[in-house]
Amino acid sequence: MQVTDQIIRNISRYTALEEQEKVDFLSLLSFREIAKKEAILKAGQPCQHLNYVHSGTLRAYCFDKEGKESTVMFAVADWWITDMFCFLNQKPAMLYIEALEGSSVFQLSRANFEHLFATQPSFERVFRILMQNAYTREQLRVIERLSLSAEERYDNFIAKYPQFVEKVPQKHIASYLGITPEFLSAIRRGKLGR
């Protein structure tokens, strides 16, 4: 199996691609290996790439005014990640994106993203669906944060993303859920005691 087969399968979920479309799409991507804890984006930098995770696990996060870190999203193999607002609006990044383990990504630059839409309209459908899915996921996350207990949020997280339990440190899961690592430990201990 070629390294590029995985990303082509991802895109093909949303549109049928001709062989030349696959070749043209792949020619617009760059492949990047990322060491554990290496940042591929830092707040304040130009956000120039949309990243498809080929292998590994990435995390996007930000800091508040007091310096408290909050995890915004995770991405594992076959997921996409970027600072979407800044990527689309050509603004300096608000997020940091780092590898939680040795990882690799395919990167699509902003210029190639626009070129892709101009030359292959079927890709507008692909990225529209990806963005709709991301928006829906984030809306549900906000609603859960406002309406569910921390334990319910943790249960939902584990049910939706079981692949993260072993790959992501608990402190990052706690940050994503908006709770302290100590509170998450108490929730987990309570579940083990049942």
| 156-179 residue pLDDT tens | 999 999 988 888 999 999 999 999
Q: Residue 67: which CATH number?
A: 2.60.120.10
Helices (H), 13-121: 19-27, 84-89, 110-119
Measured CA to CA, the distance from residue 185 to residue 38 in angstroms comes to 27
What pLDDT does residue 20 have?
Answer: 93
In a domain, 173, yes or no: no
Instruction: Supply 3's token pair.
Output: 């390294």
Is pLDDT larger for residue 55 or for residue 2?
55
% of the chain surpassing 70 pLDDT:
97
The H-or-E segment that residue 189 falls in is helix 181-192
- Residue 97 binned pLDDT confidence (cut-offs 50, 70, 90): very high
What pLDDT does residue 189 have?
Answer: 83
Record the pTM. 0.92
Cβ–Cβ < 8 Å for 71, 181: no
In a domain, 182, yes or no: no
For residues 151, 157, 89, 55, the Cα torsion angle rounded to the nearest 10 degrees is 140
In a domain, 38, yes or no: yes
In a domain, 66, yes or no: yes
Mean pLDDT for the stretch of residues 51-55: 98
In a domain, 21, yes or no: yes
Measured CA to CA, the distance from residue 52 to residue 49 in angstroms comes to 10
| Structural domain for 83, as ranges | 5-119
- Smallest Cα–Cα separation from 99: which of 61, 60, 58? 58
Measured at the alpha carbon of residue 25, what is the angle toward residues 126 and 93, in degrees to the nearest 5?
70
What pLDDT does residue 165 have?
Answer: 83
What pLDDT does residue 191 have?
Answer: 65
Is pLDDT larger for residue 1 or for residue 62?
62
Beta strands 103-109 and 29-34 are antiparallel
What pLDDT does residue 60 have?
Answer: 97
Count of domains forming the chain: 1
Cβ–Cβ < 8 Å for 8, 22: yes
The pLDDT of residue 100 is above 60 = yes
In a domain, 22, yes or no: yes
In a domain, 15, yes or no: yes
Mean pLDDT for the stretch of residues 129-141: 94
In a domain, 180, yes or no: no
